[in-house]
Amino acid sequence: MTLATLSDVLQPALKEGYAVAGLVCLGWEDMLAYVEAAEAEQCPVILQAGPGCREHTPLPILGAMFRHLAESASVPIVAHLDHGYSEAECQQAIDAGFSSVMYDGSRKPLQQNIDETAHIAEIAHAAGVSCEGEIGFVGYADGEASDGTNPDEARQFAADTGVDAMAISVGNVHLQQDDGEGLDVERIQAIDALTSVPLVIHGGSGVPAAQRRELAQKTSICKYNIGTELRMAFGAALRQSVNSDAKRFDRVAILKDTIQPLSEATRTVLQSVRA
């Protein structure tokens, strides 16, 4: 069994100058493809259940799926709750066997975010589970605007919450479909100078691959969340499978055709976050 906590995989990354990919899961086929890619690359991977995934599949089912894959994998697999918005949701994930939870209080006032995140971190650590928090707000392409992380607030947040990883807003945006202008290196360095906790970049699909690798080597960024980039690869494979034969109707056969192309795309992502 290779189920790992977030700390298990991020602390070595922090020391050795690479990052681990947090991959957004929506169903069995992408989870399977991600683990196959991680085994091919011989590196750890973080399987993430975000809000969209949880709307489609209950947390206890997702926990069982993640743990099943981890038990047969040859590399460390983290079962991670992404963007948990309440104590109840985080507790449900812990009860369902997740090895890591992210509490997202980023829309709340600073002290409230600190207090609530610290409480979730305490609950998680008591259960042997890692906790990620977010300071600053990462916006959405064609949606809510970002609020960049203040380095002094990041120092306070890291010190007072006891989180194992800290998501920051430094020019990254959720749901970006192509490379953006890159991350704000000055802001990252300022945060880095005041904290020692592994840093997380949400919206990693919009970060150019070369910058992903460079920042993993030179800063405390140890985790890139990748969703849109791989959802696009899945969509392309699904369309090709469906359009290859107008008479095809078997769901299982169609979805199986997405696994190999998605695994190949995932290998490229995994290579982009490692030295």
CB within 8 Å of 125: residues ≥ 6 apart: 131, 162
CB within 8 Å of 274: residues ≥ 6 apart: 18, 19, 41, 43, 213, 216
Would you write out the chain's pLDDT as a tens digit for each of its 275 residues? 589 999 999 999 999 999 999 999 999 999 999 999 999 999 999 999 999 899 999 999 999 999 999 999 999 999 999 999 999 999 999 999 999 999 999 999 999 999 999 999 999 999 999 999 999 977 776 666 666 789 999 999 999 999 999 999 887 776 565 666 778 899 999 999 999 999 999 987 878 888 899 999 999 999 999 988 899 999 999 999 999 888 888 899 999 999 999 999 999 999 999 86
Strand partners, 101: 81, 131
- The CA-atom distances, in angstroms, between 149 and each of 54, 137, 138, 189, 206 are 27, 7, 9, 12, 18
Residue-wise DSSP of 249-270: --HHHHHHTTHHHHHHHHHHHH
Q: What is the pLDDT of residue 1?
A: 57
The pTM score is 0.94
**Tokens of residue 74, six digits:** 């040859």
Residue with tokens 């409230």: 112
CA distance 98 to 238: 29
**What pairing do the DSSP bridges indicate for beta strands 77-84 and 100-103?**
parallel
Q: What is the pLDDT of residue 6?
A: 98
Residue-wise DSSP of 215-230: HHHHSSEEEEEE-HHH
Give the count of beta carbons closer than 10 Å to the beta carbon of residue 244. Answer: 10
CA distance 73 to 101: 21
Set 30, 82, 104, 192: catalytic member = 82
Q: Is 82 a catalytic residue?
A: yes
Cβ atoms of 29 and 262 within 8 Å: the answer is: yes
CB within 8 Å of 88: residues ≥ 6 apart: none
3-class DSSP assignment, residue 243: helix
Radius of gyration of the chain, Cα coordinates, nearest whole angstrom: 18
Domains and CATH numbers, the chain: 3-272 (3.20.20.70)
CB within 8 Å of 69: residues ≥ 6 apart: 31, 32, 35, 47, 77
